[in-house]
Copies of this chain bind each other. A is one copy, B any other.
Amino acid sequence: MPRYRIDLEYDGRPFHGWQRQKNALTVQEIIENALEKIVQMRVQTFVCGRTDAGVHALQQVVHFDLEKELTPFRLCEALNYHVKPYPISILCSAIVDSNFNARFDAIQRQYRYIISTRYAPPTYRKGLIWHIKYPLNIQKMQEAAHYLLGQHDFTTFRAIQCQAKSPIRTIDFINIQQCEDEVHIHIGARSFLHHQVRSITGTLVHVGRGQWSAERVKFALFAKDRKECGAVAPSDGLYLEKVFY
């Protein structure tokens, strides 16, 4: 029974996230339905990052086993055919070691959060960015982000409903860049807590707008108290960008 890995991209706007739900459209359901059409039986998929409703993926990684062996190229073509007309694209596919696990083997996940700071409303980027209308002080944000690097208890920056056993995570890097009228927050870690990137982003924006000092982020982190989180950024601007194994 060969194990397959597929890498996919999707526009999160029409979906209630990755994970299958009873009464809502999800990416997992579309992928598993497409697989069922191809191999004529139910296939269970395992994902690298269970993105939330509205969150996008530039590289999402999924693994599953098929009873029938298909060439990766044919699988890719067949999947892209069957996921139409949804904004999901299978970028590549491979037969991998039967121990490969898309979720547990990832050694780094990178997310990108895109904020538009221009005054005018978005048009073709609507739902693909967080539009905040005001300029941000990138230097202050980077200074605040520095406190979050390395291993910490991120209780302040995770959702109340987060199911992870431990609130401890290690952030490898946070790079903040002004790209014309957008601010990009690029962040990497082996794994993230539920709403961690959006909680960090929302809080850093408080600093960028001058409502918080950079130091306050340090106190918020050390408080280990969800109530000390600045804000949770909306899903619109969040992209799972890259996964390393």
Enumerate chain A interface residues (CB-CB to B < 8 A). 9-11, 13, 56, 76, 80, 84, 87-92, 118, 120-124, 126, 128
Contacts and interface: CB of A to CB of B under 8 A. Distances in A.
18 contacts: A9-B120, A9-B123, A9-B124, A10-B123, A10-B124, A11-B123, A11-B124, A13-B124, A56-B124, A80-B120, A80-B121, A87-B124, A89-B120, A89-B122, A90-B120, A91-B118, A92-B120, A124-B128
Q: Which of A91, A92, A121 has the most CB of B within 10 A?
A: A121
A56 B123 CA distance: 10
A92 B123 CA distance: 15
Contacts of A13: 124
Q: Which of A76, A92, A124, A126 has the most CB of B within 10 A?
A: A124
A77 to B, nearest CB: 10
Contacts of A88: 123
A89 to B, nearest CB: 5
Nearest to A10: B123
Contacts of A84: 121
Contacts of A120: 9, 76, 80, 89-92
Contacts of A10: 123-124
Top-10 shortest CB links A-B: A11-B124, A87-B123, A11-B123, A89-B120, A89-B121, A91-B120, A89-B123, A9-B123, A10-B123, A80-B121
Nearest to A121: B89
